[in-house]
Amino acid sequence: MFDTRIIDTASTKEMNCIKDLLNSQGLYLPAGAQYVIAVYNGSRLVGTGALVGKILQGIAVDSEFQGEGISAIIVTDLVNKALEIGRNHLFIFTKPKSSSLFQALGFKPVAASKPDVVLLEWGTQSIEKFKSGLRQISRDKPEASCIVVNCNPFSLGHKYIIEKASYESRWLYVIVVQEDKSLFPYEARIKLVAKGIGHLENVTVIPGGDYIISAATFPSYFTREADLARVHASLDIEVFTTHIAPALKINRRYVGEEPYCEVTNLYNMVMKNRLPKKGIQLIEVPRVENNGRPISASFIREKIKAGEIDHITELVPKSTLSYLKSSQAREVIERIVNSSSRH
């Protein structure tokens, strides 16, 4: 029989054993793993797994004990923990050869970026449900363009590219990244987007959910791990081209040029390479400039951090400015001032 124990992540001795097991299976300890479990056969460590946000990671079973149902024990424990803390929609990244193992436990493939990685999901939400929601939205709309934005916060640069896309398209979907890992919370970001483009009549604003630049499809977008970004970017685009674009009848995607961020730039390169092959036109729009420098959200945040809100009046629309000056924004601004994150 096997015993399952929760590992004290502060204990280097235990964590080292786990690292060794992971390394023996060609895996590494996931960054930010707070809930880590270990399965023992007597005193011998035979399996491990971790829960990071909504993703099951670092699942490994000692080669000698594979085929004894240990991965089912590990996944059950991690799923139970996730459900206990209210996470009902879970993901696993795995190598294509391990995909069937997790499918047998009820995980369903969302997309694959071959030969590196398959994304699988489990729970009360699914890509199929998300798509049927999108189909409801697109049912009475023509073929359309889309743009995916984070808007952290919404600037005149965003406004410009959305307006341009709106004029050039019969319909436009503005998909807002829903993952709450930016300094401006999702609720505030999507509200400012909606306010900033309220004058455009052929635009629908859509939350990105778990499938468009999310911790599930593109974790390194948030952790800025450039070495993983290429794989994740491909996966995210695979989800977009196989699921999102057909459901919304999208034949064109707009994207802003990326002069600063390596990961975003890489994402754009992947899109340039992949979208046309799937019959989706990619339009890369140069950034709008102000006083000879491209408007960027990170520059705006730097100014906010420096307490110079008055210096950004030429960079954001009135709606964003009045939000920043309102009491609602106090908490966010405080966070930006105290934060060392560029994101």
Partner 1 sequence: MKILRQTRAGSLESNDLMVVMKPLGDREGIKLEINSIVQNQYGDRIREVVTEVLKRNGIMDAYIMIQDRGALDCTIKARVETAIKRGL
Binding site for partner 1 (CB under 8 A): 69, 72-73, 75-76, 79-80, 83-84, 86, 88, 104-106, 108, 122-124
- Min CB(93)–partner 1 separation in Å: 18
- Min CB(77)–partner 1 separation in Å: 9
Which tokens sit at 240?
């977009």
- Min CB(85)–partner 1 separation in Å: 11
- Min CB(55)–partner 1 separation in Å: 17
d(CA 16, CA 47): 13
The answer for residues whose C-beta is within 8 angstroms of residue 271's C-beta and 6 or more apart is 237, 253, 255, 282
Question: Of 7, 6, 211, which is closest to residue 89 (Cα–Cα)?
Answer: 211
Residue 49 or 256: the one with the smaller Cβ distance to partner 1 is 49
Strand-by-strand arrangement of the 172-176 sheet = 203-207, 172-176, 144-149, 250-256, 281-285
- Min CB(120)–partner 1 separation in Å: 12
Residue 122 or 267: the one with the smaller Cβ distance to partner 1 is 122
Residue 122 or 186: the one with the smaller Cβ distance to partner 1 is 122
Which tokens sit at 43?
């005193």
Residue 79 or 248: the one with the smaller Cβ distance to partner 1 is 79
204 exposed, middle or buried (CB, 10 Å; 0-12, 13-18, 19+)? middle
The answer for residues whose C-beta is within 8 angstroms of residue 225's C-beta and 6 or more apart is 31
Residue 26 or 86: the one with the smaller Cβ distance to partner 1 is 86
Question: Contact at 8 Å (CB) between 251 and 282?
Answer: no
Residue 57 or 155: the one with the smaller Cβ distance to partner 1 is 57
Residue 91 or 184: the one with the smaller Cβ distance to partner 1 is 91
Number of H helices, E strands in the chain: 13, 14
- Min CB(47)–partner 1 separation in Å: 13
Q: Max CA-CA distance within the chain? A: 69
- Min CB(75)–partner 1 separation in Å: 5
Residue 78 or 271: the one with the smaller Cβ distance to partner 1 is 78
Which tokens sit at 45?
């460590």
- Min CB(76)–partner 1 separation in Å: 4
Q: How far is CA 153 from CA 117, 175, 218, 224, 257, in A?
A: 32, 14, 20, 19, 17
